[in-house]
Structure formats: C-alpha cells, structure tokens
Structure 1
C-alpha cells in the first residue's frame, strides 16, 4: 500500500485464475468503490497495464488499484489545530478527543471540530483524501475516535462494525446504585417526536444493544452514582445515554436525558477502548485512553 500520483493505491498478488471483478470483490472492494475508480479518475492495473473488471487475472499477476483523489466535503473547512494522535498509518488515524470538542461541524459547532483539524492536517501533508469518521463521539463525550483515510478503508471498517467485529468500550458514571454486576440492554432506539436531537427507546426504533458491567459505587456531595463499563454492539445516536436513561440510571451530568450537573458539567461518558482488525493487514489492534481529570475526580472522593 502506498500513494502514487497523489492517489491512494493498493497492490495485490493473484494466486488463482479468476475475473478481476471477482478477485477485487473477494478483497472487500465494493461495487460502489469500483464505480468511483472507473468514473472519478482511478485506475485498475494488471502488471502495470490498465484493464477492465472483465479481465481474467492469473496466478502471479500483480493487481494495482489506484483510487481517485478525494475532495474535502462541502461545508468542511480545513483548519489548523491541535490533535492528540495515538496512532497513524497510511490507512487509519486514532484520535483521543477532549470533551467539549465536536467530531464534525454542526450548527452549534461549525468550526474547531476534529474533522476540521484533520482536514487541515490532510491538506498540509497532501493526503489525497477527505475525512472519513468511522466512530463518532458526541461533543461532550471524551475519548477515542477512529478515522479512515480513504472511502475504501471506511467501507471495510464499517463492515467490521456491522458484523460486531469492532470492539468499543466506554466508561461511564450513572446516577444511583446499580445493583447488578452485569446487565444487557437490548432496546430499540428512535428519534423523539418534535426533536431533532433527542432519541428515545421506542417500538419502531432501530435495534440497539449495550452490555454493562458494574465496576464500583460512590457517593459525593450527597449524590450516589455507579461507575460502569459499557460495550456497544450497535452504534445508534446517543445509544448509551438513552439506554441508561431507560434503565433508570441516567448518566451523571447528562441533563438532556435526566441527569443532573451537580458533580460534573457534561455527560460522564468516555470512550476508553477500541479494538479491531486492521482493514488491510488483518493485524489485531487495541487502543486505550485514560479517564480525563474531570471524570477521575468522581473516583477520587
């Protein structure tokens, strides 16, 4: 894997005779991606010669996929800004996001987001890609975010998420005393009528599952709360916040979903661990982020 002519490029060695289309499909390259390669300035090369997907490849052939150069999304202005980068290679980028910073531009946060800063980084470094957010966090949620450097990489990682092969673990402080050591919340989530922001548990919502484990119980300033470890099996908007509200234990600081802000001035939620297979090498990767100080203070009583 490398960039050629300012384009993201993948190379594959053929092991058996097959149609080029089938060979590429077996390597996770979608029909949509192939269409983009064909019409948006990419190339399919076999042993250095351009070919169509109907070409028959044979054992020993070298297939090169040159992806089109991607343009920044409309409304995403590249900006210069600090990023806490935990890992980076030619395919992915892992960022540790502070609470209070948006992941992508919105009406309330049109600039200064993680996506703005990554777009600026890509522009400065001449990375031929727009920003592909694989795992997104709410503005007031801290922790790990995964970014893909190409639409094909985004596609491969999204498939991992859909097949539950992408591990996402959060640490959260929930109001009240959760008695169970382990719990599973499997409740559908949909948009709340009349709101463009809030979600609720509802029968016609999308399937959502959150697994929880109780870590410890605390009491501070007259408030009882529980530290929990939460694993996402789906990625619905506000999933953890909605599920914990449904359980009767909204997150500390989450006033949108019934929590109070007498202990911390944001939802007490932190993406602490993500793990997945590298979309190109298959290597198992795991990344961790420590609790920020405002949430550590909820333990240090």
Structure 2
C-alpha cells in the first residue's frame, strides 16, 4: 500500500507504505507527548490516522516540516540504529536576523547539551578536558553548510533567508550555529533572537532523503515553505 499527500484538517501525509509514514508537521506541535494524557501531538494525530505507530526522530515543537514514523518496532529499530548512515540528505530553511553577505558558508563547531538548562552550547575549538568545561566525552562535533537565498527588509529590520544542509544531526544544531555566527533564527528567543517577524520560530525541515530499511531504495521527500515564510520584501 502506498499513499501520497493525503490531507486532513490536522495532518498532511506526504508518503505512506506498509512500513513508514512521512508527515508534514506544523509549527507549534510537539512531535511526541511529554507525558500529559490527551495532549495534541504529531504522534497522536498520526496514531488517530494509522493506529499503532512509532516515532523515528523528532523536530522541535516550533519547527515545521518532514517527520518520519514507523509502523512497527522492527522498522523503527532498523532506522534508529543506523540513522546517521541511512540519512543521505537533511535540508532546512530558516529566516535569520541580520544581513549575511556570503553566498555560501560552512560552520564547524563542538556542541554540548546542558541537561539542567536544556540548552545546547557551542565551542569553536576542539574539546579539551579542563575544570571549567564539560568532560570531553560529552561534546559532539557538528557541521552545517549554509546558502544565502535572499535578503528581506521588514519593519525596518533586515533578514536573510538561508538554506541549510546538515552534515551532522545534532540537537538544535541549526539554531545554535545560527547564533554562533551572529545571526539567530528569527523568533528563537532561546538562542538569542530579538525579533519575531512571522509569529513563530522561523525554521522549516524542507528536505529529507534516507535509505529505506527494507527495500534499499533512496527515499527523497520535500516540504514546501509554510505561508508564513513567504514574506514580500
């Protein structure tokens, strides 16, 4: 069975076969419940649509875009245990504060997640064990390619629409790297944004390609930018 782009009032199914469901998650919706009964999440909506399902990866609540679910435990395990090898392309689009002049850029840093503050911290140099830094074993290398799409002037502020390609898939990677280069994602107060021109975190998961765990085929999916991103300048 294969279905594509099936719409409901609260869910857009991009792809479905006997093992997988790929959906387009809206901004403001958790990927999965934090423990509250009856909480509206992407998981609960897909469950209502398809029955028993398993989440393969997550998007932040305020990030929109492509999200993958498995229909059985074996498929979930097969993907999760080989996720970094299976995923061939991860593309995002974000609206960043300020004007970025470079057409293309490459960001490489080390990231550390503070479990108490629930924030990810960024370091430019390779980790060294020292009393004032986290243990080296807790650091993760992160690499991001960025491409400037266009500049937007809005309400006296300048923004840059940027396409990102992830070489690594770390938590909050684009948000932290954007802050690191001095151009936070618009609407991202957690990582330094001062403005919120579209009323949400301006980050969208627009492209995902991975090797299907059972057919071996490369599956490529895209998600168009939400209407809120289509700002006229």
Structure 1 equivalent of residue 16 of structure 2: 88
TM-score by length of 2: 0.83
The structure that is strand-richer by fraction is: 2
What is the number of residues matched between the two proteins? 214
Write the distance in 2 (CA, Å) between the matches of 1:172 and 1:183. 14
Say which SS state the counterpart of residue 140 (structure 2) adopts.
Answer: coil
Tell me if structure 2 keeps the 8 A contact 1:164–1:233.
no
Aligned partner (choices 108, 111, 119) of residue 186 of structure 1: 108
Deviations 1:135-161 (A, max 9, x none): 311111111111122232223323553
Structure 1 equivalent of residue 141 of structure 2: 207
Tell me if structure 2 keeps the 8 A contact 1:101–1:113.
yes
Aligned-pair Cα RMSD in Å:
2.4
Structure 1 residue 164, shift from structure 2 partner: 6.2
Is 2:166 the partner of 1:235? no
Matches within 5 A, 1:21-32: none
For structure 2, the 5+ residue unaligned runs are 2-8, 128-135
Instruction: Note closer, same or farther for the CA distance 1:121–1:262 as it changes in structure 2 (3 Å cut).
Output: closer
Matches within 5 A, 1:1-301: 82-106=10-34, 111-123=39-51, 129=52, 131-163=53-85, 165-192=87-114, 194-195=116-117, 197-202=118-123, 203=127, 204=136, 205-297=139-231, 300-301=232-233
Structure 1 residue 133, shift from structure 2 partner: 2.1
State the structure with more CA Rg: 1
Structure 2 equivalent of residue 35 of structure 1: none
Structure 1 residue 232, shift from structure 2 partner: 1.5
Say which SS state the counterpart of residue 187 (structure 1) adopts.
Answer: strand
